[in-house]
């Protein structure tokens, strides 16, 4: 990248030439969404490549971002299709063309009659143990069931020449289970889901890749329908996605990518910082937006210190120093939160605020303001009754999405409750239905269930899980569906002791819109007047003192993303620091507050 020309632009810059691929470097607060919206409108106005049946595809990373872009596009939205990468690939490739993929005996790779969207991968050792041949492999290799669960949860597709290989993300797991990878053990595991018509998010990439590899003419169909494909947050793109986009580019589509290598934080999902830096198409033009319009100068100075010298060294657009960046050291989580809020009040910071931290269990601890919360409640639930656990998790996740005004996401989530088997019957924990199940009836039931959940949310939060589940039995009876009743056993014991509120506090939602305590990954794309970054491991403070944003691992970039969410007030907190570390932080103009 260093040998290529990069034009410095501002967020109100309109492309004069809309018929060349481009790459835009845009740091935090650069106004890239504003730039993206205006240049979509610019392309609609000036392009000679768009016809009545063609559209611009705008791809972004989260459903929250999709909703924001759709809202800001306003009346131009009917000419622009906004989606996540997985939704784009599923709707344009997998859904219409997966029937082209067959085994050597002519049978379909996927049960196309049962296929209905793509789901999270919930690892199932039980499926493997229920298969005689695979169970024998587990026994022969003396594989611990709990360890196998961890391996299954980290499975992903990786490029291997022109093919894709299914293997664990972790290097040590790859080495240990290399023979099983080579023997196709994990492919056979996936095939059991596909035979039921279930594909997972990562499988969308596999099927899209295979369709375009084996049927290259489809690349031209996609390029004709979407002569422009613009991808936001490209630094978080999977290498398989990159290859797919290059194929579509070769077929004639104009590809534009926007991102920031210093905010690449999804390595655990296969994303690579290098993919963004090395992305290059024939005739590509490169741009960089230099200003940070979000943060004060004191905050921008810290951010520039962390990212070092790269393609984007930001300038503060607001031209005000703002409040000093502060440090709180306190062994009590409650004490940290109390000090943060009192300092905000002292400074007159009456706007929105958020506490961000690295780990989900720290989020739970912060939400409860104590270290004695039940962080294992969902795993305890799964051990008691894994099918009911998944059922309740989907329902409560949908409820919380709706409570966050993410209504379409909530509907998609609650639709997962109504999965059917090969005979068209609702799956466990349902036992009967008084009418024929089709997609229309599923959506109707989903909307009714969502209305019930949102209307009764406050009351439900006070109940134990058993009372909540029994109420669900009553609700489903009212719409002609029978839910399995509760007998003596593990579920009843768990459900009597656990509260709905505990489950909700410990939920790991895929996306959050309004939560004021969240993980760093879920804070991506958000901004707040005040931010508290909680370092649960005080050793991570070294990422501020000796930053390496170009490192292969994401650690330093994670904290860069966290700190960059702040507009006016930024505070860092941990349990204890040595005086040497405190003095070193002071040299960065960070202020210690008691």
* pLDDT tens per residue across span 132-143: 999 999 999 999
Does 77 have pLDDT greater than 70? no
Q: What integer is the mean pLDDT of 240-249?
A: 96
Tokens of residue 50, six digits: 């768009």
The pLDDT-based confidence of 254 (bands split at 50, 70, 90) is very high
On the CB side of 472, CA atoms within 13 Å amount to: 26
C-beta neighbour count of 387 within 10 angstroms: 14
Does 339 have pLDDT greater than 70? yes
Does 370 have pLDDT greater than 70? no
* 411 in Cβ contact with 446 (< 8 Å): yes
pLDDT at site 3: 56
- Indicate the pairing of strand 163-168 with strand 155-160: antiparallel
pLDDT at site 563: 98
Report the top-level CATH class of 5-93+214-288.
alpha beta
Burial class (CB in 10 A: 0-12, 13-18, 19+), 189: buried
Architecture of domain 321-365+515-590: 3-Layer(aba) Sandwich (3.40)
Among 64-73, 101-110, 174-183, 494-503, the least confident range: 64-73
Does 371 have pLDDT greater than 80? no
Q: Calculate the CA 74 to chain-centre distance.
A: 25
Q: What are phi and psi of 562, to 5 degrees?
A: -60, -50
Q: Which residue has the tokens 């971002």?
A: 65
The pLDDT-based confidence of 214 (bands split at 50, 70, 90) is very high
Tokens of residue 514, six digits: 């309004």
Q: What integer is the mean pLDDT of 419-435?
A: 86
Percent of the chain with pLDDT over 70: 97
The pLDDT-based confidence of 366 (bands split at 50, 70, 90) is confident
Tokens of residue 332, six digits: 């009590």
**Residues belonging to the chain:** 594
Q: What is the pLDDT of residues 448-485, one digit of tens each?
A: 999 999 999 999 999 999 999 999 999 999 999 999 99
Does 304 have pLDDT greater than 80? yes
Angle between helices 377-384 and 490-497 (to 10 degrees): 150
The pLDDT-based confidence of 544 (bands split at 50, 70, 90) is very high
Distance CA 219, CA 253 (A): 9
Q: What is the DSSP letter of 427?
A: P
Buried b (16+ CB within 10 A) or exposed e, 489-514: eebbebbeebbbebbbbbbebebbbe
Q: Do domains 5-93+214-288 and 321-365+515-590 have the same CATH topology?
A: yes
Distance CA 354, CA 526 (A): 10
Q: What is the pLDDT of residues 165-211, one digit of tens each?
A: 999 998 899 999 999 999 999 999 999 999 989 999 999 999 999 99
Look at residue 487 and give its three-state secondary structure.
coil
Measured CA distances, 439 to 95, 201, 209, 419, 432 (Å): 15, 20, 27, 10, 17
* 155 in Cβ contact with 184 (< 8 Å): no
* 32 in Cβ contact with 232 (< 8 Å): yes
The pLDDT-based confidence of 373 (bands split at 50, 70, 90) is low
Distance CA 81, CA 478 (A): 38
pLDDT at site 558: 96
Does 513 have pLDDT greater than 90? no
Q: What is the pLDDT of residues 558-572, one digit of tens each?
A: 999 999 999 999 999
pLDDT at site 76: 64
Q: What integer is the mean pLDDT of 75-83?
A: 82
Does 11 have pLDDT greater than 50? yes
Q: What integer is the mean pLDDT of 19-31?
A: 96
Contacts of 410 (CB under 8 A, 6+ apart): 398, 399, 401, 402, 450
Q: What are phi and psi of 286, to 5 degrees?
A: -120, 135
User: Rounded mean pLDDT of the chain?
Assistant: 92
Percent of the chain with pLDDT over 90: 73
pLDDT at site 267: 87
Tokens of residue 391, six digits: 């059922």
Does 372 have pLDDT greater than 70? no
Q: Which residue has the tokens 């509260």?
A: 499
Which has the higher per-residue pLDDT, 436 or 398?
398
* Closest of 510, 515, 494 to residue 378, by C-alpha: 494
Q: What are phi and psi of 456, to 5 degrees?
A: -110, 15
Q: What are phi and psi of 385, to 5 degrees?
A: -170, 95
Binding residues: 26-33
Buried b (16+ CB within 10 A) or exposed e, 538-566: eebbebbeebebbeeebbbbbbbbbbbbb
Distance CA 191, CA 198 (A): 9
Does 1 have pLDDT greater than 50? no
Q: What integer is the mean pLDDT of 115-126?
A: 88
Q: What integer is the mean pLDDT of 226-232?
A: 97
Q: Which residue has the tokens 């793109």?
A: 237
Q: What are the boundaries of each domain within the chain?
A: 5-93+214-288, 116-205, 321-365+515-590, 384-504
Binding residues for ATP: 26-33
Q: What are phi and psi of 7, to 5 degrees?
A: -90, 125
């Amino acid at each position: 990248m260093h040998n290529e020309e990069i034009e410095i632009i501002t967020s109100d810059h309109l492309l004069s030439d809309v018929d060349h691929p481009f790459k835009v470097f845009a740091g935090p607060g650069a106004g890239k969404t504003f730039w993206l919206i205006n240049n979509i409108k610019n392309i609609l106005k000036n392009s000679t490549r768009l016809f009545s049946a063609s559209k611009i595809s705008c791809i972004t990373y989260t459903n929250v971002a999709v909703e924001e872009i759709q809202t800001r596009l306003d009346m131009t939205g009917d000419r622009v299709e906004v989606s996540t990468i997985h939704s784009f690939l599923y709707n344009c490739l997998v859904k219409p063309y997966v029937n082209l993929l067959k085994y050597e005996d002519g049978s379909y790779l996927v049960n196309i009659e049962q296929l209905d969207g793509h789901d999270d991968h919930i690892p199932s050792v039980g499926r493997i143990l229920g298969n005689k041949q695979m169970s024998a492999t587990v026994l022969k290799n003396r594989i611990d069931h709990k360890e196998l669960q961890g391996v299954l949860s980290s499975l992903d597709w990786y490029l291997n020449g022109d093919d894709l290989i299914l293997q664990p993300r972790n290097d040590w797991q790859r080495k240990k289970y290399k023979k099983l990878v080579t023997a196709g053990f994990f492919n056979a595991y996936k095939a059991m889901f596909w035979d039921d018509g279930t594909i997972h998010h990562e499988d969308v990439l596999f099927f899209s890749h295979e369709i375009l590899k084996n049927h290259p003419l489809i690349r031209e169909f996609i390029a004709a329908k979407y002569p422009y494909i613009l991808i936001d947050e490209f630094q978080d793109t999977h290498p398989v996605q990159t290859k797919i986009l290059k194929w579509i580019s070769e077929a004639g589509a104009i590809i534009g990518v926007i991102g920031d290598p210093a905010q690449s934080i999804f390595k655990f999902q296969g994303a690579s910082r290098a993919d963004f830096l090395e992305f290059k198409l024939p005739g590509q033009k490169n741009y960089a937006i230099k200003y940070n319009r979000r943060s004060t100068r004191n905050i921008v100075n810290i951010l520039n210190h962390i990212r070092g010298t790269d393609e984007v060294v930001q300038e503060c657009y607001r031209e005000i120093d703002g409040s000093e960046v502060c440090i709180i050291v306190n062994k009590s989580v409650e004490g940290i939160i109390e000090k943060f809020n009192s300092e905000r009040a002292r400074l007159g910071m009456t706007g929105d605020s958020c506490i961000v931290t690295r780990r989900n269990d720290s989020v739970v601890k912060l939400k409860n303001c104590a270290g004695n919360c039940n962080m294992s409640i969902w795993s305890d639930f799964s051990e008691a009754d894994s099918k009911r656990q998944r059922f309740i998790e989907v329902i409560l996740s949908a409820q919380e999405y709706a409570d966050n005004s993410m209504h379409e996401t909530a509907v998609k989530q609650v639709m997962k409750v109504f999965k059917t088997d090969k005979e068209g019957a609702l799956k466990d924990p349902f036992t009967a239905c008084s009418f024929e199940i089709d997609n229309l009836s599923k959506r109707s039931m989903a909307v009714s269930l969502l209305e019930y959940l949102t209307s009764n949310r406050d009351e439900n939060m006070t109940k134990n899980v058993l009372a909540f589940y029994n109420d669900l039995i009553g609700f489903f009876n009212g719409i002609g569906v029978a839910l399995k009743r509760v007998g003596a056993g593990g579920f009843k014991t768990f459900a009597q002791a656990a509260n709905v509120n505990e489950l909700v506090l410990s939920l790991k939602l895929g996306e959050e819109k309004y939560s004021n305590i969240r993980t760093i990954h879920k804070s991506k794309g958000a901004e707040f007047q005040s931010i508290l970054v909680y370092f649960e491991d005080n050793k991570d403070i070294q990422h501020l003192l000796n930053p390496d944003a170009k490192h292969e691992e994401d650690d330093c970039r994670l904290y860069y993303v966290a700190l960059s969410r702040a507009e006016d007030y930024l505070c860092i907190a941990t349990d204890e620091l040595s005086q040497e570390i405190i003095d070193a932080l002071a040299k960065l103009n960070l202020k210690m507050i008691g």
